[in-house]
Amino acid sequence: MRLNKKYLIPSLLILTLISLIFAYNFLFDNSSKNIKTNLPESKSGFFLGTYVDINLYDNSSEKIFTESFNILEDIESKMSINIDTSEVSNINKNAGTSALKVSPETFFVIRKGLYYSSLSKGHFDISIGSLVKLWGIGSEHAKVPSREEIQKSKNTINYKNILLDEKNQTVKLANKGMIIDLGGIAKGYAADKISAFLKSKQIKSAIINLGGNVYALGSKPNGSTWGIGIQDPFEPRGKHFGIIHVKNKSIVTSGIYERFLEKDGKKYHHILSPFTGYPVETSLVSVTIIADNSIDADGLSTTIFSLGLNDGKKLVESLNGIDAIFVNNKKEVYVTSGLKNNFLITDNYFILNDN
């Protein structure tokens, strides 16, 4: 397949990510004299409702980019609720009536979504689609719904009513009006699929960015770890307040600072509570999850944000290979134990709290 305009959309995200990585490498890395200053081979496109940037630092070719975008297009065609013919859309159309056989990929992501729905005790719930559509935050149809509309939508939300048949690979929504929305986890799955594909092509240094869902593949070309900037939730995209060092890790942030609706002087962010039907109320403004697999980081970022600082931090500490960075509305920063020696605040307006 030849790359078309969909895969070549200019994006501020790619400039942001590259500038954060290279600015840090140049200013702070003691081995900066050995850093290659040439930029990676990069392509960008629009999939799963967000800009996607793939940046390859070795063995890049047009074919690798093409095949990578083919993978993303396939995932989108199966899992997007914005594509009327997708498998997830067909599941939703059959809500309350019949089970639908789906591909192994869609079945896997839904099962993983149910795992995190259960782990969070419903704070993260992939059956929240009707509520997401009702608010429409981030779209031109955004509105503050009436209490009656919210209550009606809440009645359709319950991940326990998503019925899986492992043997036959079918999915059924028990009640009419239910809508699965994999927007909180599908990008993570896509990042993992791309990283696995790149590894199969012997790519050793790459950055994959799906709308801020970042996977740092391998290490930098000089062998050192990637220095990844953590977005300042109080500033426009592109300004970071801290740095972590990683390799073969996913970094995913959920926050209230980009997608929101403002009405009568009040802001309503896009992270909705299945319990209240309204945006989650917490002192947190962002949560960043660091994990080996992007699907885990993606599912956990919303989960942990919704749980709040104390319960969220407790849950992360109970999970192997998972770490988190919390920022509250007072610019206080909390990190889990695995990041105590791997997180540097670069903006003095933020305070690292040791508790």
Q: pLDDT tens string for the chain (355 positions)?
A: 434 435 444 444 434 444 444 334 433 443 333 334 457 899 999 999 889 999 999 878 899 999 999 999 999 999 999 999 999 999 999 999 999 999 999 999 999 999 999 999 999 999 999 999 999 988 888 999 999 999 999 999 999 999 999 999 999 999 999 999 999 899 999 999 999 999 999 999 999 999 889 999 999 999 999 999 999 999 877 789 999 999 999 999 988 877 778 888 888 888 999 999 999 999 999 999 999 999 999 999 999 999 999 999 999 999 999 999 999 999 999 999 999 899 999 999 999 997 6
* pLDDT recorded at residue 81: 94
How many whole angstroms separate alpha carbon 176 and alpha carbon 96? 4
Residues near 245 by beta carbon (within 8 Å), at least 6 away in sequence = 225, 226, 227, 228, 342
* pLDDT recorded at residue 355: 66
Taking Cα atoms as reference points, which of 133, 157, 155, 156 lies closest to residue 145? 133
Neighbouring C-alpha atoms within 13 Å toward the C-beta of 115:
12
How many whole angstroms separate alpha carbon 91 and alpha carbon 87? 6
* pLDDT recorded at residue 16: 44
How many whole angstroms separate alpha carbon 188 and alpha carbon 250? 9
* pLDDT recorded at residue 38: 52
With residues binned 3-state (H G I as helix, E B as strand, rest as coil), the percentages for the chain, rounded to 5, are: 35, 25, 40
Q: Are 68 and 194 within 8 A, CB to CB?
A: yes
Per-residue buried b or exposed e for 322-341, using 16+ beta carbons within 10 Å of the residue's own CB? bbbbbbbeeeebbbbebbee
Taking Cα atoms as reference points, which of 24, 88, 37, 56 lies closest to residue 239? 24
Outline which parts of the chain fall under CATH 3.10.520.10. Answer: 5-75+203-352
- Could you give the 3-state DSSP secondary structure of residue 25? helix
Look up residue 301 and give its two tokens.
């970022």
Taking Cα atoms as reference points, which of 77, 111, 95, 141 lies closest to residue 299? 111
Q: Are 226 and 342 within 8 A, CB to CB?
A: no
* pLDDT recorded at residue 342: 94
Neighbouring C-alpha atoms within 13 Å toward the C-beta of 151:
3
* pLDDT recorded at residue 238: 77
In the CATH scheme, what is the homologous superfamily, with its name and number, of domain 82-173? Answer: ApbE-like superfamily (1.10.3980.10)
Strand locations in the chain, DSSP E? 41-47, 50-56, 100-101, 162-165, 170-173, 205-210, 213-218, 226-231, 240-246, 249-255, 260-263, 266-269, 284-291, 323-328, 332-335, 344-345, 351-352
Outline which parts of the chain fall under CATH 1.10.3980.10. Answer: 82-173
CATH of 5-75+203-352, one of 3.40.1350.10, 1.10.3720.10, 3.40.50.1220, 3.10.520.10: 3.10.520.10
CA distances from 156 to 124, 289, 298 (A): 15, 29, 23
* pLDDT recorded at residue 228: 95
